[in-house]
Amino acid sequence: MALFLFKRLLQAAVVMFVISIISFSIQDNLGDPLREMLGQSVSEAERHEMREQMGLNDPFLVQYGRFISKALQGDLGTSYFFKEPALDVILNKLPATLELVLGASIIIILLSVPLGVYSAIKPHSVLTKMIMGFSIIGISIPVFLTAILLIYLFAIELGMLPSYGRGELVHIWGSWSTGFLTKDGLLHLLLPCVSLASIMLPLFIRLIRAEMVEALHTEYVKFAWAKGLGKYRIWFMHALKNTMLPVVTVGGVQIGTMVAYTILTESVFQWPGMGFMFLEAVNRVDTPLIVAYLIVVGAIFVITNTIVDLVYGLIDPTVNLVGGKK
């Protein structure tokens, strides 16, 4: 386990190094940040002096070396717009985004497991055909279109749910506030979470169904039937347990993907999270905030993948964490 952790940390450091180079190198292609900061009324001489003070005229390697040196100390730069450390701005927005991802994950887990298992157990039923049909439609429709349709139906036509914002929040700790503990907050969460879950839910239903069908045809399941075990025990204690291995692996990767997808969902619902902040940063050419966002999202991918590898080994003891299957 210790050797595995060491290797994973080494791999994570290499991945983060690559992400930092890519993130930092694109900042020159995003536009001139001084145009947004100073406007058009500033003379070219003053603009040049400002660039010198900010180090924007230095060679790329000099700028990157200065950036990475500060990054190792937890300083990812200062936002041009907020006039605060970029990492602090992101951490203030992080609870809203994680709340959205958590709500979507709960919806995915509660629906994908029973629907996927039922589709595998009853492959020829009418309900299974309806589930598979809806899953194809769900995969085909973009997240932002689903969000717009939900707003039109439930907010505009029926007037049942709010169409934007986080609603009433409860302060928990530090900058962390949540809408999970208030009725108004839960109502505001419903449409964004359903929208975010819509792209992942069909994927998980089809994945669980496919793995469950394969598990139901394995020898140990046939042996369990021969022993006369109950059908629910065979389905949920034997088949479903082994079905969850690839589901956990894919699920861990998809958590990072959902964080990235929140850009679209937060934009449509004006959700004050990291994704909405990122789009505003792009419009303002707030390059320190953009670079910091990309690095934080990259770190979320790396951390979730490492945790998935550990959980994978705990679920299946036959997995050798260092060298694969025993």
Per the listing, tokens 């001489």 go with: 45
Tokens of 183: 């009725």
317 pLDDT higher than 80 = no
Per the listing, tokens 């109950």 go with: 230
Closest CA to 313 of 302, 324, 303: 324
| Cα maximum dimension of the chain | 87
The upper half-sphere exposure of residue 128, i.e. CA atoms within 13 Å in the direction of its Cβ, equals 13
pLDDT tens for residues 211-237?
888 888 888 888 888 888 888 888 887
Class at the top of the CATH hierarchy for domain 89-313 = mainly alpha
Select, from the ranges 1-15, 107-121, 255-269, the one with the highest average predicted confidence (pLDDT).
107-121
21: number of Cβ within 10 Å: 13
How far apart are alpha carbons 156 and 41 in whole angstroms? 44
Residue ranges covered by each domain of the chain: 21-72, 89-313
Tokens of 256: 């990072």
pLDDT tens for residues 69-105?
888 888 888 888 888 899 999 988 888 888 998 999 8
